[in-house]
Structure formats: C-alpha cells, structure tokens
Amino acid sequence: MTEEKSRHMTPDEFRKYGRAVVDWIADYQERVESFPVMARTAPGDIRASLPALPPETGETFDVMLKDVEEKILPGVTHWQSPDFFAFFPSNTSGPSILGELLSAGLGIQGMLWATSPACTELETHVMDWIVSMLDLPETFRSSGAGGGVIQDSASGATLCALLAARERATDFASNAEGCDGRLVVYASSQTHSSLEKAVKIAGLGKNALRIIPVDHRYALRADALSEQIQQDRADGLIPCMVCATVGTTSSNAIDPLPRIGRICRTEGIWLHVDGAMAGTAAVCPEFRHIHNGLAAADSYCFNPHKWMFTNFDCDCFFVADRAALIQTLSILPEYLRNQATESGAVIDYRDWQVPLGRRFRALKLWFVIRHYGVEGLRLHIRRHVALAQTFAQWVDDSADFELAAPAPLNLVCFRHKGGDKVNQELMDRINKSGRLYLTHTLLDEQFTLRLCVGQTHTQARHVRQAWETISETGREIMGGGA
Amino acid sequence: MTEEKSRHMTPDEFRKYGRAVVDWIADYQERVESFPVMARTAPGDIRASLPALPPETGETFDVMLKDVEEKILPGVTHWQSPDFFAFFPSNTSGPSILGELLSAGLGIQGMLWATSPACTELETHVMDWIVSMLDLPETFRSSGAGGGVIQDSASGATLCALLAARERATDFASNAEGCDGRLVVYASSQTHSSLEKAVKIAGLGKNALRIIPVDHRYALRADALSEQIQQDRADGLIPCMVCATVGTTSSNAIDPLPRIGRICRTEGIWLHVDGAMAGTAAVCPEFRHIHNGLAAADSYCFNPHKWMFTNFDCDCFFVADRAALIQTLSILPEYLRNQATESGAVIDYRDWQVPLGRRFRALKLWFVIRHYGVEGLRLHIRRHVALAQTFAQWVDDSADFELAAPAPLNLVCFRHKGGDKVNQELMDRINKSGRLYLTHTLLDEQFTLRLCVGQTHTQARHVRQAWETISETGREIMGGGA
C-alpha cells in the first residue's frame, strides 16, 4: 500500500504541520490579550458552524488549522490570558506544553512499570523532588512507606484517598462486602464539591458526610469536628476520613491542620489534605506555614496544573502508607501479569488510581521544574502573591468596596458595598466587557467577587487595569451609567 | 521584571524549541523500528541516572531534550513500534499528536460550557459524528435523550455507567443514603478487570459481582445470566447492571447482545456495553455485526485511544438517557454557578464524569477523523483485521501451534502445542529479543499467547516477521537450542 493511499502523516509531513501548529500557538501567545477573555458565543454557535457529518475522504491539515482559527477560537474562553482572574487558574508554560507534546509523540502507556519503566521511574523521581521543593513531610517520600503519584485531578485524588480510608476503616472489608451505612466522613462547609461527589461515588452516601462549621476566617472549627466525631461514635458509626483544605476554593481559607491532625491521630481517622491551588505556594519558604501540621496527614494533594505552570492534567497525590492505597486499588488479571510486577521490585501506578491506562505526565512536570528551576518558580509565586496583596490593599483603601475574607495568598474575596444585586451586575458587566474574567462565590450568604492572580503571564499592569475596570464599573452602576 | 529574570519561555523561544521537539518526534517515528520493542532497563536504572534534587536554577531546553534521548528513551517500551503486538494497542497518529499539542497550547478547561463553549460543543459534535461513523443506535445521539462524552478511559466510563445504574436501581437514593448491600452486578468471567474495580469503588462490594460463565467461544452465557438474575431476585437482591463486552481483553470474544439486551429490558436492568478496542471496527460496515443488539444498551463505550489512531486518553462514552447520568454526577456549588448553566440550554460535561476539570480532548479526535476521513479509517481497520486473519491462518496451518480461540477481528489467541512451560519460555525469549512484543492470557487454564494487530504502522512485513520469529523460537526451544 502506498503512503498516498494510507493517508498516514509521514514524518516529513509531521515536521511541516508540527511547525505550523507550534507557530500557531506562539502567535496565540502573542495575541492572547487582544481577545475578550470570556467567549462571547451563544449556545449552539460553534456547532452550527460545523458539518453535520464527518468527511468520507481525508482533508488537508491546512484546512483544519484554518478551522481552528475561524471556528474554534471564537468559542474559547482564554484561560491563558493574563487578564484571567476567574475560578482558580489553570496555568501553563512553554516547557509544559512541549512536555505534553513529547508525551503524545512517544505514545506510551504507563499502567505498569514494565510497559515503560521510564514513565514510572521519572514519575516517582519527580514526586520525590516535589517533596523536597515544597518541604513536605518525609512520610510522603518513596524511600519510606509512602510515595507520590500523578492523578488527573484533585477529584481523582480525593476519591482515591476516600477509598483507601474506607478500606482501612473496615479492616479492608469494604471492597469485598460493600458499604453498610456506618461510615462517616468529615469536612467543612467550605470544602470543595469533589469531596461530596467522592462520598456519593464511594457508596457512603451524602448523608454520611458531616459538614463541620467554620470560624470567622472560613476555616474548619476543630472543636466542632471533635464534638461531631464523639457524637457519631456514640451513635455506633465509624468515622472514616476527615478532608481538610489548604486554600479553600471560595476564599483560600486554611484549615487548622495541627489540631485536626491531632484529632485524627487520636481517633485513628484517615486525614486527607486538599491543597489543590495553594499547595504550590510552599515552594517559597515564607509560605510553608500553610502546611504546618501536614505530617499527621495520611494523604495530600495539590495541582501543578493550577498554579505551577504545568498544563492540565497534573495533580500530585501523596500517601504516607502506599500499601493501604495499593491494597485498595489493585487487581491483577492474568493478561497484566509480568515478571517485574511479580518481583515486587517495581511500582505499578495503575494500582494507585481509578483508571488502568495512564500517559507519561511526569515529562511535563519534569520540564517545568528544570526549565524554571526552584528559584524561578519561587519568583513567580511571590510575584503573584504580591500582586494579589496589592489588589487587596486597593480594595481595603476604597470607599466603595470591602474585603470579604482574609487573603492569605493570591486570592482576593471582595465586594462592592452596594449589596448582592450590584455585585452580580458588576460581575456580569465586567465579564461581558471582555477586559477581564472574574467569578463569584457566596460568603455569609453574600454574593462575593473573587479575583485570583495565578496566570503565568499576569503582570502588575493587568492587575492594575482589572482594579480600574472594576472600580469604574462600580461607579457606573451606582451612577446609573452604561 | 525582565523576561530574562522571569525565565518564561518567550513565543520565539517556543517556536525554536517547539520545532526541536517536533523534529525529535519525527526522527523517533523514523527510527522506532530500530529499538528493542520492550525496554531492557532493570528496576531503578532510570532513577539512578537522575539527580537526587531538583535544580535551584533553570536549565536550558537543549539539555532537557538531550536527557530525553539519553536517559528516558532507553526506558521506553515502544507502543508506537509496528512490532508492538502486546495487550491491546494504544495507537496514535500525526494529526492526533498535533491535536493534543493544540489542546495543551490553548490550555483551556472544559468543565462547564461557559468556561470554553468550543470545547463542549466540538465534543458533542464529534460524538454525534461517531454515532454516524459506527452506525451506533440513534438513542446515543445528543439530539434525543442521550448523548456522548469523552472519558479518560473505559475504566472511567464503566464506573460512571455503574454509578448511574446504581442510582436508577435505587430510585436515585444511593447517592444520598449509600449502598445497603442489596445491589448486584453481572458480567462474564472474561469481562475486563475495570468492572471489578468499579464495583469495589462504588461501594457495592466484590461479593455483589456475579461472574457468569462463558460458552466455548468465551462469550457470556445468556441462559446462565437469566438464571442468576432469577436466583438473586428470589433472594431479595436488586439486579443493578449487566456489563457485556464486545471484544474481551483475553480473546476478543463478543457477548450475545441481543439476548442479553432482551433480558435487561425485561428485568429493567442497566445494560453497559464495553467495546473498548473492538468498537472501532464498526467504522467498516462488514464488521458492524459486532454491535447487533446494542440498541437495547443504556450505555456503551469504546476507545479511539486503542485502535482509532488517537492518542491516550480518549474514551467515547455514550448513554441513552443523559438525565440519569447527569442527575447522578451533578453537584453545583456556588462558585460554579453561571447564567449558561442555569439556562439549561447547554451541556456541562463535568456532570458526565468523575473529575471536575477536563481538557480539550475533542480536538485530537476531530483532527484524526478529518485527516483520514471515514474511508481512510476503514482502510486501516480492514488492513489490520486482514493481517491478523492471515496470521491466524498461519497458526492454523502449523504443525507446532494451534489457535486457542476464535479470532473475530484483529486479535489472535494461540499457543505452542508443547504446553504452558514452552509457551511461557517462548514469550519470554521473544520479548527479550526485542524484535516484537507479545503478551499472554489464560484460556481454559492454559497459558495462551496473544497477538494483536493494531499499531498504526504495522504492515504485512511486520506480521510476517513476527510469525517467523515465533515459529523459529518455538523450534529452538523444542530442539533445546539457544
């Protein structure tokens, strides 16, 4: 069969079109500020521009790239714009993109050590690097009883933590016998929704999730946790896991790990700590206090795909006792048996996660760390935090706005003093303007704006312009202006 | 701050290093046949070559790419070698790699429609294309009550199917109340291990998994299924889901969907069909019989990342009733609320999967379909099946080897007539030779070799050479040779 007929892209064609895509991305980086941050397409617009049926015969790559520019780009919300301040960031960087490209080009499966030893070993190695970089507890290092693995997301990590906790709390019987309605899980009202999802998925049921109240800083109240545990024990229930958060999604609140950890140790409860965005801050010694008390945790995760310049998906998940995790998630059908696995000398990461397959995600994280160096990463984290703190100061100094919560790092929660309707209108107008993108939350039942500084290329001028737009729009609304 | 100090990769540097990586991948494609297919490194070799601590200051990209060549590549098992016949393939292609690159370059999050409408709409659109391409039941099309979503893997899809089935079987009470030990799930002894994992994860417990025996073709026995369901009903249990397989991992057996579907319809049991690898074959009209009876299924998945030239991860998961799936997996915290979601006019794919975040995976599948065209895809699927059938004929004609199971498509199960030890020795020697990579399974308690033809660039000469190596090695072993 000729290559013509096969339509496989030859290596030379790959060189040609690969360059075209690389150039397109570089161009995109250069003009990203020129787009409205939030896409302005109406539901169905993108689909309406696409043919109803797939092509019978192949098309040229040039046409496809043109369609990306003309049909896809208008429907993109620009997460990589320096004017993106919504949600938590999902930032990236050149070395990360190229790491992802290499991973796709190699096209290997890292489900077992044997299916590509480099994929597994680089991952273990980089996860140990992360322990050093963030000064995480030594319990998470692979040289002891623990270790790290890259998960798709904090949702995946939290689910795996809960499954291991469920197994440990039932003397490893729940995998065989299922849940029996006696297991309970604890988290604060500010915990990410992925925990509720995990509690449902794992068969414990939402009714088994105890929502512990928070203090005036939106951090979990350890005294209330302790009381709830006693109550549940008295009711014959089995406390299974506490999920504490370092940097909640709503307001970046930091739960009191030392007190929570002592309770979990005393009670024999699995402590999972979710540091999805904020965890990256610990690359700077001056922010490592956020992890005070983490040594008592059974598991911990944070997402380099949020604030460490590594493109989604890349969640770093650590456990202190890898045997509990592996025993929970391991199944060995005949078709996956191999000498390396049987020797016990290797890690098979399929037993550390829900899916069987896995791609070579360690490459991009390795590239990012090496490209920036630890000092380079620190520089940007410090810069982002300083910019957020400056913004918080502007809010605090303003007559029209007020801070809605402490801003320990790079997230500022604030509101216009005009009330919920004004703040909703403010957010809608700003997002519609395309000049920046903000999202909101509820704190104490009040509509609260969130500005999170974390996109790779956000500089002082972007934050200044954001503040100008926000305060100007506030004046317009109060003055009845456009 | 100067760009020098920031160490961000500038767009021009991205162009330069991007080209270097593209060229490296093209070179890799050109020389992939020169490597031993299975990596020869010993446990710890790769880690030993890496510095114990991350660099404090940044390194140049050239050094990193050199390390990929010198330190990583020796630890790679070459899934993209045309001599890779192990497991199921995880094939890829130029357009897919470039789609992944674009996705990483755009760096967008598709968790909500609003966070990038193009990401959601292209995905829905391409999933509808797939319905047309594979002539899947109309129930799976988004214009009706169903729809498709890209999951990470068949494991993820099976778990989501089971969760929706669990909810439906309990009148949507299991999410709130947890499992109560009465739900049961059915699958054959040949079903992929991810189902057992899902049953454990979802809190039903492995004891709730009924393993139905198979017939002489290794397909699920519908009569035995029916009997087991009646027995469980009589015992007061609640049949929740049947997982049928189109192309089992061990031998590519195809479960009798029409009979299983009738049972599930009558009994009101969720039918999930796993066509992880074989599903792609339905792009060819002559192979669509594998999906006979699929119209009765509540959900179905297959993996373009196995046999449709799309790099991992890309599992296409379809449901006939999207409302059941969404109701099962939806949680809406305040910080994710937005007008588009509240309008009900859009799809938010975070409610169709376990994780919250998701990257723009539809791009690569769109590129693959458009690059090859449906005819182009058919050509390669037909070619792979024909090559496997030729191999099966060689086995059947051989005095030393025999077929171990029917070979309906591209997987051939066979064994040397010398018994288990000979076959194990045969596989070990062949894999050690580096000339090809095979894996095994157990069928009727006998060690069975598997040869799966599915790598993008596998041609007749590779299959011929594989057979020569296999038969020659068999003769060596029987003759006591090296």
Whose tokens are 């015992």? That residue is B235
Distance CA B131, CA B142 (A): 10
Distance CA A331, CA B110 (A): 31
Among the partner residues A55, A121, A205, nearest to B370 by beta-carbon distance: A55
Q: What is the dihedral of CA B128, B132, B136, B142, to 10 degrees?
A: 20
pLDDT tens sequence across B50-109: 999 999 999 999 999 999 999 999 999 999 999 999 999 999 999 999 999 999 999 999
Do A76 and B373 lie within an 8 Å CB cutoff? no
pLDDT tens sequence across A35-45: 999 999 999 99
Q: Is B246 helix (H, G, I), strand (E, B) or coil?
A: strand
Q: Mutating which of A30, A71, A72, A443 best tests the B interface, going by the most B Cβ atoms within 10 A?
A: A72
Contacts of B77 in chain A (CB under 8 A): 108, 114-117
List of domains in chain A: 3-34+39-76 (1.20.1340.10), 108-359 (3.40.640.10), 367-478 (3.90.1150.10)
Q: Is A217 helix (H, G, I), strand (E, B) or coil?
A: coil
Contacts of A332 in chain B (CB under 8 A): 193
Query: Is the sign of the CA dihedral B189, B192, B193, B198 positive or negative?
Result: negative
Q: Is B16 helix (H, G, I), strand (E, B) or coil?
A: helix
Distance CA A426, CA A85 (A): 15
Q: Find, in chain A, the residue whose alpha carbon is nearest to that of B184.
A: A178
ipTM: 0.97
B101–chain A nearest CA distance, Å:
5
pLDDT at A353: 97
Query: Which tokens sit at B73?
Result: 């590549």
B167–chain A nearest CA distance, Å:
10
Is residue A251 within 8 A of residue A218, CB to CB? The reply is yes
pLDDT at B129: 98
pLDDT at B4: 54
* Beta-bridge partner residues of A317: A149, A301
Distance CA A12, CA B38 (A): 26
Q: How many residues does chain A have?
A: 482
Q: Is A188 helix (H, G, I), strand (E, B) or coil?
A: strand
Do B55 and A369 lie within an 8 Å CB cutoff? yes
Contacts of B445 in chain A (CB under 8 A): none
Contacts of B157 in chain A (CB under 8 A): none
Do B177 and A181 lie within an 8 Å CB cutoff? yes
pLDDT at A6: 82
Q: Is B137 helix (H, G, I), strand (E, B) or coil?
A: coil
Contacts of B301 in chain A (CB under 8 A): none
CB atoms within 10 A of CB B141: 20
Contacts of A78 in chain B (CB under 8 A): 108
Distance CA A428, CA A416 (A): 14
Is residue A82 within 8 A of residue A33, CB to CB? The reply is yes
Q: Is B404 helix (H, G, I), strand (E, B) or coil?
A: coil
Among the partner residues A55, A197, A305, nearest to B373 by beta-carbon distance: A55
pLDDT at B52: 97
Query: For residue B313, is the peptide bond before it cis, meaning its omega torsion is within 30 degrees of 0?
Result: yes
Contacts of B197 in chain A (CB under 8 A): 329, 331, 354
Do A178 and B205 lie within an 8 Å CB cutoff? yes
* Beta-bridge partner residues of A214: A220
Segments in chain A below pLDDT 50: 1-2
Contacts of B196 in chain A (CB under 8 A): 331
Among the partner residues B54, B357, B440, nearest to A374 by beta-carbon distance: B54
Is residue B423 within 8 A of residue B416, CB to CB? The reply is yes
In terms of Cβ atoms closer than 10 Å to its own Cβ (0-12, 13-18, 19+), residue A324 is buried
Is residue A169 within 8 A of residue A162, CB to CB? The reply is no
* Beta strands per DSSP E along A82-198: 147-151, 183-188
Distance CA B42, CA B26 (A): 28
pLDDT tens sequence across B297-321: 999 999 999 999 999 999 999 999 9
Q: Mutating which of A16, A121, A238 best tests the B interface, going by the most B Cβ atoms within 10 A?
A: A121
Report the pLDDT averaged over residues B398-422. 98
3-state helix, strand, coil in chain A (%, to 5): 50, 15, 35
Up-side HSE of residue B333: CA atoms within 13 Å toward CB? Answer: 21
pLDDT at A4: 54
Among the partner residues A115, A192, A369, nearest to B54 by beta-carbon distance: A369
* Beta-bridge partner residues of B316: B150, B302
Rounded to two decimals, the pTM is: 0.97
Contacts of A114 in chain B (CB under 8 A): 38-39, 77
* Vertex B345 angle, CA B342 and B349, to 5°: 80
The 8-class DSSP code of residue A368 comes to H
* Beta-bridge partner residues of B183: B238
Distance CA A10, CA A14 (A): 6
Is residue A208 within 8 A of residue A185, CB to CB? The reply is yes
Among the partner residues A54, A93, A205, nearest to B8 by beta-carbon distance: A93
* Vertex B188 angle, CA B187 and B189, to 5°: 125
In terms of Cβ atoms closer than 10 Å to its own Cβ (0-12, 13-18, 19+), residue A20 is middle
pLDDT at A1: 45
Q: Which of A317-321, B3-7, B155-159 has the lowest mean pLDDT?
A: B3-7
CB atoms within 10 A of CB B330: 15
Contacts of A59 in chain B (CB under 8 A): 370-371, 373
pLDDT at B1: 45
Is residue A237 within 8 A of residue A207, CB to CB? The reply is no
Strand ordering across the sheet containing B270-274: B147-151, B315-319, B299-302, B270-274, B238-245, B183-188, B209-212
Query: Which tokens sit at A332?
Result: 């060995």
Do A193 and B440 lie within an 8 Å CB cutoff? no
Q: Mutating which of A1, A3, A14 best tests the B interface, going by the most B Cβ atoms within 10 A?
A: A14
Among the partner residues B18, B100, B250, nearest to A335 by beta-carbon distance: B250
A93–chain B nearest CA distance, Å:
7
Distance of CA A137 to the CA centre of its chain: 21
Distance CA A331, CA A326 (A): 9
For A287-306, b/e burial (b = at least 16 CB within 10 A) is beebbebbebbbbbbbbbbb
Do A77 and B115 lie within an 8 Å CB cutoff? yes
Is residue A232 within 8 A of residue A210, CB to CB? The reply is yes
Q: Find, in chain B, the residue whose alpha carbon is nearest to that of A95.
A: B9
CB pairs under 8 A between A and B: 528
Distance CA B248, CA B232 (A): 25
pLDDT tens sequence across B259-272: 999 999 999 999 99
pLDDT tens sequence across B340-354: 888 888 999 999 999
